[in-house]
């Protein structure tokens, strides 16, 4: 692989921190990224879903017979934010896909570039709508509250190779600073990308990444003995279940989905694009004496100058982020504020759980005004899971 050369110096610190977090869900899985494939045919249908969309199409073989192929696209949420729509893949539309074949499913592929029948060419990370919003927002609402309402999303991350086969992820607004396939200083190439050892090495283990259970990752805080026991008791989940499982009011806020905030004098409603969860922040001084526990807890809010401070208690036990369990004693404090100069919404989180954790969990996420409206995700993991090959029969015992 040719060495990559940067066109500019590194990213801002926040961007450097954001990109590695996205590597976990940007895997190349079964795809043989060191091989090329070109397929042409007519669209049958498109599965416009998360965590990955799939386009199905008929390919005519040299002997005149047809075979159905399906090729993977990015998540429906990200495609929508990039201006892609299901209507682009209407039945009968002629497409040519350049990409990489699936190692396990012979009629599947990873999409790098699509050429449509009208000559339009789109790379995997092609952007069909403006990346930034130019609309002016009032700093205050008519009732005098700071204006945090609207549709918000974390800035999109895209590959430095627009075809999605090489390099790594960087913020969309900065991608033009780098050579195609570049890896900014302080980051690493995504494992499995073209030219990496993972792409060149023989495949080991079951195709499809297995179907293993458990939650991804590790606990993000030091756990007490009770917390460690809670991790051991977490339900086993298949990859497909894990991909679409609801998270928490903390974890579901970030990532790709578009979130919506609506506000009035007495309540603030927060709608999460991920799984469509909705929570209400009551603008009152104290929690009720008897709170009915729930997955989202009971939230109250107050304004401290131009910062909305949200206090949430009353949770049922669950997981906060990944494999970080929480008990009914979880207490979450969030601080929401908008930078009027950049129109950036910042959320700072501090969470405590004296039963399961030995220290606080803290997190900070910034979002920009979304270029597409809020919508709840449709999630269905359609990635094939191929069972491992049966173990070889043991050799017969030697005759005595």
Q: What are phi and psi of 354, to 5 degrees?
A: -65, -20
User: Each residue of 212-251: pLDDT tens digit?
Assistant: 333 346 789 999 999 999 999 998 888 788 889 999 999 9
Q: Say whether pLDDT at 386 is over 80.
A: no
Cβ proximity of 52 and 244 under 8 Å: no
Q: Cis (ω within 30 of 0) for the bond into 118?
A: no
DSSP 294: B
Q: Say whether pLDDT at 89 is over 70.
A: yes
Between 205 and 257, residue with greater pLDDT = 257
Domain boundaries defined on the chain: 1-128+192-210, 225-369
Q: How far apart are CA 379 and CA 252, in angstroms?
A: 13
**Which of 180, 159, 145, 122 has the alpha carbon at shortest distance from 22?**
159
* 3-class SS of residue 241: helix
Cβ proximity of 178 and 168 under 8 Å: no
User: Each residue of 304-330: pLDDT tens digit?
Assistant: 999 999 999 999 999 999 889 999 999
What is 1-128+192-210's CATH number?
2.40.50.140
Q: How far apart are CA 388 and CA 385, in angstroms?
A: 9
Sign of CA dihedral 242, 246, 250, 253: positive
pTM of the model: 0.85
What is 225-369's CATH number?
2.40.128
Q: How far apart are CA 247 and CA 277, in angstroms?
A: 10
**Backbone Cα Rg of the chain:** 24
How far, in whole angstroms, is CA 354 from its chain's centroid?
Answer: 30
Provide the terminal-to-terminal Cα distance of the chain, rounded to the nearest Å. Answer: 56
Q: How far apart are CA 75 and CA 290, in angstroms?
A: 41
Which tokens in the block code for residue 56? 């199905």
Q: How far apart are CA 270 and CA 283, in angstroms?
A: 13
- Rounded alpha-carbon distances, angstroms, from residue 37 to 26, 57, 64: 20, 15, 19
Q: Above pLDDT 90, what percent of the chain? A: 68
Cβ proximity of 300 and 286 under 8 Å: yes
User: Each residue of 105-125: pLDDT tens digit?
Assistant: 999 999 999 999 999 999 999
């Amino acid at each position: 692989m040719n060495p990559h050369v940067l066109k500019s110096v590194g990213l801002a610190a926040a961007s450097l921190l954001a990109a590695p977090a996205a590597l976990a869900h940007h895997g190349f899985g079964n795809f043989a990224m060191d091989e090329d494939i070109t397929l042409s045919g007519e669209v049958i249908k498109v599965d416009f879903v998360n965590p990955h969309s799939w386009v199905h199409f008929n390919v005519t073989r040299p002997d005149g017979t047809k075979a159905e192929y399906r090729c993977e696209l990015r998540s429906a949420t990200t495609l929508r934010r990039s201006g892609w729509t299901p209507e682009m893949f209407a039945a009968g539309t002629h497409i040519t896909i350049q990409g990489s074949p699936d190692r396990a499913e012979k009629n599947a592929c990873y999409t790098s570039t699509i050429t449509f029948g009208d000559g339009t060419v789109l790379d995997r990370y092609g952007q069909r709508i403006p990346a930034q919003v130019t609309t002016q927002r009032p700093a205050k609402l008519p009732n005098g509250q700071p204006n945090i309402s609207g549709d918000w999303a974390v800035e999109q991350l895209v590959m430095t190779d627009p075809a999605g086969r090489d390099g790594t992820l960087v913020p969309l607004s900065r991608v033009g600073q780098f050579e195609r396939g570049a890896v900014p200083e302080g980051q690493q190439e995504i494992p499995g990308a073209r030219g990496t050892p993972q792409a060149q090495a023989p495949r080991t283990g079951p195709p499809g990444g297995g179907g293993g259970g458990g939650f991804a990752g590790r606990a993000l805080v030091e756990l007490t003995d009770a917390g460690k026991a809670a991790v051991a008791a977490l339900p086993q989940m298949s990859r497909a279940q894990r991909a679409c499982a609801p998270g928490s009011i903390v974890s579901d806020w970030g990532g790709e989905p578009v979130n919506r905030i609506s506000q009035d004098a007495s309540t603030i409603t927060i709608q999460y694009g991920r799984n469509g969860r909705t929570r209400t922040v009551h603008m009152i001084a104290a929690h009720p004496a008897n709170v009915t526990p729930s997955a989202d807890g009971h939230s109250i809010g107050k304004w401290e100058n131009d910062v909305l401070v949200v206090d949430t208690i009353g949770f049922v036990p669950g997981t906060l982020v990944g494999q970080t369990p929480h008990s009914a004693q979880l207490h979450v404090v969030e601080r929401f504020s908008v930078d009027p100069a950049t129109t950036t919404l910042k959320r700072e989180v501090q969470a405590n759980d004296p039963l399961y954790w030995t220290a606080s969990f803290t997190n900070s996420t910034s979002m920009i005004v979304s270029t597409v409206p809020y919508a709840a995700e449709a999630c269905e993991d359609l990635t094939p899971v191929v069972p491992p090959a049966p173990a070889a029969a043991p050799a017969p015992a030697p005759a005595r």
